[in-house]
Chain A
Amino acid sequence: MFKDLDPLLHSQLRLAVMSLLISVESAEFTFIKEKTGATAGNLSVQIDKLSTAGYIDVNKSFKGKMPLTTCNITKKGIKAFEDYVNSLKGYINK
Chain B
Amino acid sequence: MNQESDSLSPHQSLDLIQSMIRQAQGNMSNNSFYFILWGWVVVIANLGMYSMIKYTEFQYPHYVWLIAIPAWIVTMVYGSRQGRKQRRTSHLDKINMWLWIGFGVCLLPFIVFITKVNYNINPIILIITSLPTFVTGVMLRFKPLIWGGISFYVFGIICFLMSPIDQFLIGAIAIACGYLIPGYLLKATKEKNV
Contacts and interface: CB of A to CB of B under 8 A. Distances in A.
A26 B97 CA distance: 15
Interface in A13-55: 13, 15-16, 19-28, 30-31, 35-38, 42, 45-46
B24 interface: yes
Contact of B3 (A25, A26, A46, A91): A46
A35 B11 contact: no
B contact face: mostly helix, strand, loop, or mixed: helix
Interface string B2-24: 11111010110110110111011
Interface in B15-57: 16-17, 19-21, 23-25
B3 A11 contact: yes
A1 B89 CA distance: 37
A93 B5 CA distance: 22
B13 to A, nearest CB: 5
Given A24-B88, A27-B87, A92 B14 contact: yes
Contacts of A10: 5-6, 8, 13
B90 interface: yes
B14 to A, nearest CB: 6
B2 A26 contact: no
Contacts, number: 92
Nearest to A31: B87
Given A10-B8, A26-B88, A27-B88, A36 B17 contact: no
Interface residues of A, number: 34
Given A25-B91, A88-B13, A35 B2 contact: no
A36 B3 CA distance: 11
B136 to A, nearest CB: 17
Contacts of A3: none
A42 B4 CA distance: 10
A11 B91 contact: no
Contacts of B4: 11-12
A10 B88 CA distance: 24
Given A10-B13, A12-B16, A31-B87, A19 B21 contact: yes
B194 interface: no
Contacts of B20: 15-16, 19-20, 23, 35-36
11 contacts: A12-B1, A12-B3, A15-B8, A19-B24, A23-B21, A25-B94, A27-B24, A27-B87, A35-B20, A42-B1, A85-B17
Interface of B: 1-6, 8, 10-11, 13-14, 16-17, 19-21, 23-25, 84, 87-91, 93-94
